[in-house]
Structure 1
């Protein structure tokens, strides 16, 4: 069954819209979301290892930066897939995927400059770019594994 080229690009656009929506939240709403996630993780960790010293500020920081990394890892995977379905191959596919993700990360940080309590951070662009690179790497690894399996 041949897949429509528009479907993978629609997934990219929807994921970008989700990133935009989350970036558009004022700092107080964003902090509430990550604090809620932090409390869930804290309860789980303390339940398993009660004697573990727990620094909430470090966990909060890791959750916020981890969200950047994860969101852009998924974006990297989606863009890579969309470019694959659009018959873009090789170094072009890698380069275009990375370029699209990095440019979107930059525009996302600029967007946050206009949101109450938020700021645009170069470090977040670097974290986003690293996430996209890992997503691209995952795609390339999976493609190689599939080719290896099919060759056997």
Structure 2
């Protein structure tokens, strides 16, 4: 049951990001410069945790889990930026993709560290 729930959470979260990327304009607060990079970082850090939770059902090697969950986030971020290139009012950004990738990387490292700590 937990495996199905983890899958559902990851698929739902990825769908939410896809839906948000399909919007021409997103509401924003603009509290500081490059706030969107922090939002990308945090969104993909959450995705990294979700990906880790799904992948842990199939393997137990912490390093491999880190690599695959990071890879998933980075590739999804890349596909998200490509998707935005087709949405009127949106433009792809390599800096957004970098923020996505770093968020996924940090979450993957944190999950790997926590996993090793509990073994």
How many residues matched? 119
Structure 2 Cα separation of the partners of residues 14 and 68 of structure 1: 17
User: Counterpart of 1:5 in 2: which secondary structure?
Assistant: helix
TM-score of the superposition, structure 1-length normalised? Answer: 0.71
Segments of structure 1 that go 5 or more residues without pairing to the other structure are: 39-55, 148-152
The answer for the alignment partner of 1:68 in structure 2 is: 40
The answer for the alignment partner of 1:24 in structure 2 is: 22
Deviation at 1:129, TM superposition (A): 0.4
Segments of structure 2 that go 5 or more residues without pairing to the other structure are: none
8 Å Cα contact 1:8/1:85 also seen in 2: no
Q: How do 1:52-131 and structure 2 match up within 5 A?
A: 59-62=32-35, 64-131=36-103
In terms of fraction of residues, the more helix-rich structure is 1
User: Counterpart of 1:86 in 2: which secondary structure?
Assistant: coil
RMSD: 1.7
User: Counterpart of 1:87 in 2: which secondary structure?
Assistant: coil
Structure 2 Cα separation of the partners of residues 61 and 92 of structure 1: 32
Greater RCO between the two (CA within 8 Å, min separation 6)? 2
User: Counterpart of 2:34 in 1: which secondary structure?
Assistant: helix
Structure 2 Cα separation of the partners of residues 139 and 92 of structure 1: 12
Deviation at 1:76, TM superposition (A): 0.5
Structure 1 Cα separation of the partners of residues 49 and 59 of structure 2: 15
